[in-house]
Structure 1
Amino acid sequence: MEERLVISNGVVDGRRVDLLVDAGVVVADDIDPAGVEAPCVDVGGRLLLPALAEPHAHLDKALTAEIAPNPTGDLRGAIEAWMEAEAAGRFDAEGMAGRIREELDRLLLSGATAVRSHLNVGGSVGVEHLDVALRVAGEFEGVLDVQLVAMITMPLTGEGSESNVAALREAIDMGVHLVGGCPHLEPDPVGAIEILLQHAGEAIPLDLHVDETLNPEMLTIEDLISAVETHRANAVTASHCVSLSALDSDRVRRIGDGLARSGIGVVALPQTNLFLQGRDDQRLTPRGIAPVGRLRAAGVEVAAGGDNVQDPFNLMGRSDPLEAAALMVMAAHESPEDAFDLVSSGARRVMGLGSAGPEVGSIADIV
């Protein structure tokens, strides 16, 4: 990027602006473009908005629906399809690198400048997926902020856990940005959360898959809140939180108060959860989307993401955060303004990134 740049003839909140960008930050919005010695981009009266962000992707799985077909269409079928494909050796490093590169290109073209992706770590793959993703992410340095999450294979406690915990340590040594896992699928959810928090320490943030089920009794989110409140944890994100959608408003409010108090952000994932959840319900099929409106009212930082794209967990998707925003309007009854925030500024807040957009003082990531 040029050290200084003028963006002229833009519109922000209904008013005409001429921006001066210096060292990647908007420093003025009312300049005379002719009076500034810097390259100028005339946007022709177009609306200027904060850049989009993808707070929850699975780059190692993207675009694999034909390689790992899911015969049942539900979450268990997707997991089994993926594990079968891994065991059969259907994924090679270069093929995965190409798909990750394509997915990052698609996100960039959609207007996203930040991406957080979960990657399988442990089990039969060890750190292979992470190694590929780190290599490809380096190709986008300076263009995309790519955050990689080591999603540790189950189990993390008891028999069979040693190799997974070792892979967790190796991922941290490799420089993974966040630590993750699926506590609600673990034989010992509380123990798994403790292991992840202990290894992350105070330096590494966590982003966990939490309660991806319509069962209202499955509330490991409460275990996560308790654990975070007793640890000196770095930033923590709870993704999915589907079971919250099955609770009454009073229970959601109490859990929301705990999330806000402990600083845990929540990412709703409408596309994949609409695809996977509720397949056994023949009438009044539930939507399975985290109740972000009620959580927001409790003071929780919330975002929405695309999750899986054309893979066993979701056959659809175009790698565009605005697709998630549209689904939040239609299926979660968010206003268009709030839905856009979920995939732009709100997503950046959950991801721990600075404010971006056309406002003075913001990082000049603008669409």
Structure 2
Amino acid sequence: MHLSAVVIPPCLRGFASDAPPDQAFDVALHGPQVARVQPVPGPVQGTLLSAFVDAHVHLDKNYAADSVGGAEGDLLTAIRRMDVYLAGEGASTLRARMERALEDAYACGSRALRTHLNWDGATPPPSLAVFTALQDAWRGRLELQWVSLIRLDFFADAAAADALARAVRAGGGVLGAFVYRNADIDALLHRVFSLAQRYGLALDFHVDEGLDADATGVHSIARLTQAFGLQGRVVCGHGCSLSAQPAVQALETLALCAQAGVHLVALPTTNLYLQGAWDATPQERGITRLKEALALGVSASIATDNVADAFYPYGSYDLFDSFGLGVQMAHLAPAQDALATITIHPAAALGLAWDGRIAPGCPADLVLLAARNGNALLTPQGRQRVVVRAGVALPLDSGAARTPLNAGPAPVQPPPHRP
């Protein structure tokens, strides 16, 4: 298979090239790998990306909005509603909801997802067994990871916390916690880091998901990451409070994150919906300081978070939709320069074998967008796509975001632009 006259954004080029950003390339695929990348005169026919990596989702909660309703800006209400819903649900409907999400994500071009699963105690929740079965069923198509999502105060009980960490290790998961203005926050986080070090676990936090300037969990986590030598193994999701803090304070925290190798994940859809006042048009956007983080060298990502549940009653598992919103919310122009936030950076956060850069020998797990330049990336026509997995174009149903393709020996080109 050949992909003809496509732009490969500079941040995704895994080969030596001093070609300009709008250089066209012919890309030859051989089986499940990229065989050759060759510059050609053009004209450009589309934009080639590596398949997406969604670093923060909630497979146990999605598609429940019709039953529970949207919480309309109230995080605690959303938590309560979903807790009740999950407690009364059986495994069969949970599996159906989870699998629907995986089908959507795969069709839209994702190759890996990390989901947070609600935990109430040291014993694994029923959702873990359902997830593990799906993890096996989807092996080779989607790389799936899970995180134990539990309140930070749970770690006050040393014996229970140790049992939790052992359960997470036994299940091949990532240790997580929900962190927000907790009493004794430093002592509790110290225990989490001690357990991670003892059991060889990576860490992934829901942290500072609010607009209170005195929420400083990200700073504490970055400091402890350095102290425990866990650089590159710690992820902070949300970090909304950084946007409410004085710039000097927030930038100091982000610089510390860069030094500590802490990954930062922004969740634009859910946090735009949940954060800020609902009695008037909100001025606070609810997104972390993504632009400043990237400028300081933080490995920052954009992820999907919630889909059709109490936290966010809209959306889908098309990560490129979240990317488009994040680019606009955080003013990440030009958009093509931010594409690492859904490819390279989340691949590093999840510790994936392939970093997402396109080069001869890399996996032929790709997304071919119709966009011929950066300005077209976020247009309805420009984001139409062909998804290629293991060198084969997926026979997708047509839709607003995807374009059908019959794979064959002829060169593959994105759909033409219409006037």
Could you say which TM-score interval applies, normalised by the shorter chain?
A: 0.7 to 0.9
- The 2-side partners of 1:185 and 1:311 are apart by 25
- The 2-side partners of 1:169 and 1:186 are apart by 24
Tell me the residue number matched to 1:48. Answer: 48
Tell me the residue number matched to 2:189. Answer: 193
How far residue 317 of structure 1 moved from its aligned partner, in angstroms, is 0.7
Tell me the residue number matched to 1:356. Answer: 356
Q: Give runs of aligned pairs for residues 146-157 of structure 1, distance below 5 A.
A: 146-157=144-155
How far residue 318 of structure 1 moved from its aligned partner, in angstroms, is 1.4
Quickly say closer, same or farther: Cα 1:225–1:46, change in 2 above 3 A. Answer: closer
SS state at 1:352 partner: coil
How far residue 288 of structure 1 moved from its aligned partner, in angstroms, is 1.0
Tell me the residue number matched to 2:79. Answer: 79
- Partners of 1:212 and 1:242 within 8 A in 2: yes
1:47-68 CA-to-partner distances (Å, cap 9, x unmatched) read 3221112111000111111333
Tell me the residue number matched to 1:37. Answer: none
The residue type equivalent to 1:208 in the other structure is F
Aligned match of 2:267 in 252, 266, 269?
Answer: 269
Quickly say closer, same or farther: Cα 1:222–1:153, change in 2 above 3 A. Answer: closer
Aligned match of 2:163 in 161, 166, 174?
Answer: 166
1:180-201 CA-to-partner distances (Å, cap 9, x unmatched) read 1112264432233223222222
SS state at 2:145 partner: strand
Considering Cα pairs closer than 8 Å and 6+ residues apart, tell me whether 1 or 2 has the greater RCO: 2
SS state at 2:366 partner: coil
The residue type equivalent to 1:169 in the other structure is R
How far residue 102 of structure 1 moved from its aligned partner, in angstroms, is 0.6
The residue type equivalent to 1:217 in the other structure is D
- The 2-side partners of 1:366 and 1:114 are apart by 13
1:85-129 CA-to-partner distances (Å, cap 9, x unmatched) read 34xx42111111111111011000111111111111234974321
- The 2-side partners of 1:232 and 1:114 are apart by 26
In the alignment, structure 2 segments of 5+ residues that lack a partner are 9-22, 368-419
How far residue 251 of structure 1 moved from its aligned partner, in angstroms, is 2.1
SS state at 2:6 partner: strand
RMSD (CA atoms): 2.5
Aligned match of 1:29 in 29, 37, 41?
Answer: 37
How far residue 325 of structure 1 moved from its aligned partner, in angstroms, is 1.1
- The 1-side partners of 2:95 and 2:271 are apart by 26
- The 1-side partners of 2:366 and 2:56 are apart by 20
Aligned match of 1:175 in 157, 172, 175?
Answer: 172
How far residue 332 of structure 1 moved from its aligned partner, in angstroms, is 1.5
Tell me the residue number matched to 1:64. Answer: 64
Tell me the residue number matched to 1:220. Answer: 217
Aligned match of 2:24 in 6, 10, 15?
Answer: 15
Aligned match of 1:295 in 293, 296, 299?
Answer: 293
Tell me the residue number matched to 2:243. Answer: 245
- Partners of 2:69 and 2:313 within 8 A in 1: no
- Partners of 1:70 and 1:81 within 8 A in 2: no
The residue type equivalent to 1:12 in the other structure is V
How far residue 341 of structure 1 moved from its aligned partner, in angstroms, is 2.5
- Partners of 2:151 and 2:179 within 8 A in 1: no
Tell me the residue number matched to 2:336. Answer: 337
- The 2-side partners of 1:154 and 1:65 are apart by 26
- Partners of 1:211 and 1:219 within 8 A in 2: yes
Q: Percent identity?
A: 27
Tell me the residue number matched to 1:133. Answer: 131
Identify which range, 108-117 or 192-201, moves more after superposition: 192-201
- Partners of 1:357 and 1:366 within 8 A in 2: no
Note if 1:257 corresponds to 2:255: yes
How far residue 131 of structure 1 moved from its aligned partner, in angstroms, is 1.8
Q: Give runs of aligned pairs for residues 300-339 of structure 1, distance below 5 A.
A: 300-335=298-333, 336-339=335-338
SS state at 1:9 partner: strand
SS state at 2:153 partner: coil
Tell me the residue number matched to 1:34. Answer: none
TM-score by length of 2: 0.76
1:146-170 CA-to-partner distances (Å, cap 9, x unmatched) read 11111124532336x7556534422
- The 2-side partners of 1:59 and 1:349 are apart by 21
The residue type equivalent to 2:339 in the other structure is F
- Partners of 2:181 and 2:216 within 8 A in 1: no
- The 2-side partners of 1:165 and 1:153 are apart by 15
Tell me the residue number matched to 1:40. Answer: none
The residue type equivalent to 1:181 in the other structure is A
Tell me the residue number matched to 1:117. Answer: 115
Quickly say closer, same or farther: Cα 1:68–1:198, change in 2 above 3 A. Answer: farther
Identify which range, 71-80 or 7-16, moves more after superposition: 7-16
In the alignment, structure 1 segments of 5+ residues that lack a partner are 1-5, 32-43
Q: Give runs of aligned pairs for residues 200-219 of structure 1, distance below 5 A.
A: 200-201=196-197, 203-219=200-216
The residue type equivalent to 1:29 in the other structure is V
Number of aligned pairs? Answer: 345
Quickly say closer, same or farther: Cα 1:122–1:21, change in 2 above 3 A. Answer: farther
The residue type equivalent to 2:145 in the other structure is Q
